Structure 1
Amino acid sequence: MREWTRIRENPCIRGSKRQSLLKTNKPVKKLILRFGKVLLIGFTVLAGSIAFLYPQIFFCHLISFSDFSSKGTIYFSPEIKKAHFPIVEMLIAKSEARVDSFYFGKKSDPVFIICSNARQYEKYCSSTEGAGCSIGTPWGSNYVILNAQGLNVDVISHEMSHIELLEKLGWWKTTFKIPQWFNEGTALMLDRRFVNNSDPGDRYFEYMDEWLYYTRGGQEILELEDISTIKGFFNGGQRQVMLAYMTSGMEVSYWLARAGGNGFRDFMSEMNQGSSFSEAYIKAEQEGSHSLKTKLPRNPLRLENSKKISE
């Protein structure tokens, strides 16, 4: 009260204080406005860059503004009749059950985009090949794009596996720390288009048969290091890509058979605790191999003249 009374009695002091406050506030306001402009420009540039470099992500984000019909997190092409919606939902539900079983509980909840023609598929997937693809983003928006003409549980499960691994380990770790052969090999464990056996040991034998066919009896081998990146994995023609798939399927099924029933869960736990891929991968196999009842034939990818497993 004394201070207030004194200020009222002396207008000069009151005026000088107001001027001082105004002088102090102006630089702060300018700084805030400048910072806000920088953020706005940065966001605009980032959004524009994403739209230019990765238009499929941009289109996927805007799917709710398209002419696609939505039912929950599933978006259907306008050419797909509503009578077919329950069939697609059933296929997705079966795929979710596979993911839930293999990953010891499903965590992901991607948006599904069901296309009816090649033009739509290319728009949202940025590719004309395959029956499905998956898109994961650092900010947590995940999408599974499917071509209705080749829609089945195997395709959906394969793409959902990629998204689930991303959810379990995080976008950064899955993108930069996990080799592509492991990502694809894991997805093949839920995809029965090439090998139908669900037992890891028997599945290894069947993948070895496929591998021997595509390598012409082991004469044209792809090392794991050669297919550790997306570019390396999908480089070459159709036969080369199929060999990459069969190589990853054989290695991962062999590893799962040796790691045992809890090996995959232990591997993910080790990765989430900060271990490198190689450390977690080798540790899970070593701990599981102690209780291995059936001896498996040696993995040809691990012969002495082959390169070691690499990140």
Structure 2
Amino acid sequence: MLIALLMISWGVYAKPVHAALVNYSSMVEVAPDVYIEPDMTKELQDQLLYYVELAQEKVTAIFGERTSTPYLIVALTSRSLGKYTENPTGQTYYLPWNNYIVIGPDGFNENVISHEFTHAELRERLRNRNVVPVWFDEGLASMVDGRLSNSTAAWEQVTDKGKKPVDYGLLDSYDAFSYGTPEAWKNYNLACYEVTRWFSSAGEEGLLKLIQALNQGEDFTEQYARIELAEP
């Protein structure tokens, strides 16, 4: 029984453990906290570092600066992908001491990397990441990554151009954003639309005020509305 439990536990935790121990693996660090497979071509390395630079700029444009330093592990072959994640796009392991982002072949672009960098940055700045609803976390990351350029059209379709209000309380669960399903795609668009709308009024200053207020124990819903309506 004990052996069976250990095997099950290893099956659940093996990939995040491998990510946390990437320093001791055959992966090569090509930039601070950026790891690739040793046989990645120079062309792909250069492309990756370009994507990382663009993603960093996107995060900086929203937060003013980038304070988080997550590990970025790029696994493009089935061998490395199976070791670090089962998601061909990517996955992030939020461990107590740091975040470990694994990017697969489907996520090898500036959009996915900036999405995960945004999650890491928000978590770095919040004393408790659970004080923000999931839709805000995913909406902010989706706004930064830029893939949902038609979120307004999606919102108009779901809400009949605003006639039917969205219950964002139903989107306060990561199950609502299980990537790859039509329902999740709709929810990503709704979250992206709402955060983009809010940020257009609040801006970087408002986002930082929100984070500061939440770190001081203020209520998210109250501060979210107050900051948007505040005079410039």
* Category of TM-score, reference length = shorter chain: 0.7 to 0.9
In structure 2, C-alpha distance between the alignment counterparts of 1:216 and 1:286, rounded to whole Å: 23
3-state SS in 2 of match to 1:240: helix
Q: Which runs of 4+ in 1 moved over 6 A?
A: 47-50, 218-221
CA gap of 1:226–1:91, structure 2 versus 1, over 3 A, is: same
Q: Give the equivalent residue in structure 1 for 2:135.
A: 181
In structure 1, C-alpha distance between the alignment counterparts of 2:81 and 2:176, rounded to whole Å: 24
In structure 2, C-alpha distance between the alignment counterparts of 1:98 and 1:67, rounded to whole Å: 30
In structure 2, C-alpha distance between the alignment counterparts of 1:48 and 1:177, rounded to whole Å: 35
TM-fit CA distance, 1:193: 1.5
Tell me if the contact between 2:20 and 2:100 (Cα under 8 Å) persists in the aligned partners.
no
Q: Give the equivalent residue in structure 2 for 1:192.
A: 146
- Pair 1:226-2:159 in alignment: no
TM-fit CA distance, 1:282: 2.1
In structure 1, C-alpha distance between the alignment counterparts of 2:121 and 2:204, rounded to whole Å: 19
- Pair 1:62-2:16 in alignment: no
Larger-gyration structure (1/2):
1
3-state SS in 2 of match to 1:75: strand
TM-score of the aligned structures, taking structure 2 as reference length: 0.84
In structure 2, C-alpha distance between the alignment counterparts of 1:96 and 1:160, rounded to whole Å: 8
CA gap of 1:220–1:55, structure 2 versus 1, over 3 A, is: farther
Tell me if the contact between 1:115 and 1:121 (Cα under 8 Å) persists in the aligned partners.
yes
In structure 2, C-alpha distance between the alignment counterparts of 1:50 and 1:266, rounded to whole Å: 41
CA gap of 1:51–1:141, structure 2 versus 1, over 3 A, is: farther
Q: Give the equivalent residue in structure 2 for 1:151.
A: 108
Q: 1:102 aligns with which of 57, 62, 76?
A: 62
- Count of residues in Structure 1 that have an aligned counterpart in Structure 2: 225
In structure 1, C-alpha distance between the alignment counterparts of 2:45 and 2:197, rounded to whole Å: 38
3-state SS in 2 of match to 1:112: strand
TM-fit CA distance, 1:232: 3.2
Q: Which amino acid aligns with 1:267?
A: L
CA gap of 1:136–1:48, structure 2 versus 1, over 3 A, is: farther
Query: Could you give the per-residue CA deviations for residues 127-181 of structure 1, whole angstroms, max 9, x where no partner exists?
Result: 335x22222212x2211111245411111101100000010113xx11x222110
Q: 1:255 aligns with which of 195, 198, 222?
A: 198
Query: Could you give the per-residue CA deviations for residues 195-236 of structure 1, whole angstroms, max 9, x where no partner exists?
Result: 1xxxxxxxxxx52212234x384799862111101123328x
Query: Could you give the per-residue CA deviations for residues 108-128 of structure 1, whole angstroms, max 9, x where no partner exists?
Result: 111110111345335323x33
Tell me if the contact between 1:226 and 1:233 (Cα under 8 Å) persists in the aligned partners.
no
3-state SS in 1 of match to 2:198: helix
TM-score of the aligned structures, taking structure 1 as reference length: 0.64
In structure 2, C-alpha distance between the alignment counterparts of 1:194 and 1:179, rounded to whole Å: 20
Q: Which amino acid aligns with 1:162?
A: H
CA gap of 1:276–1:82, structure 2 versus 1, over 3 A, is: same
Q: Give the equivalent residue in structure 2 for 1:43.
A: none
Q: Give the equivalent residue in structure 2 for 1:281.
A: 224
TM-fit CA distance, 1:253: 1.3
Q: Give the equivalent residue in structure 2 for 1:88.
A: 48
TM-fit CA distance, 1:55: 2.8
Residues 20-59 of structure 1 correspond to what in structure 2 (within 5 A)?
A: 51=10, 53-59=12-18
Tell me if the contact between 2:176 and 2:187 (Cα under 8 Å) persists in the aligned partners.
no
In structure 2, C-alpha distance between the alignment counterparts of 1:279 and 1:273, rounded to whole Å: 13
RMSD between superposed Cα atoms in Å: 2.7
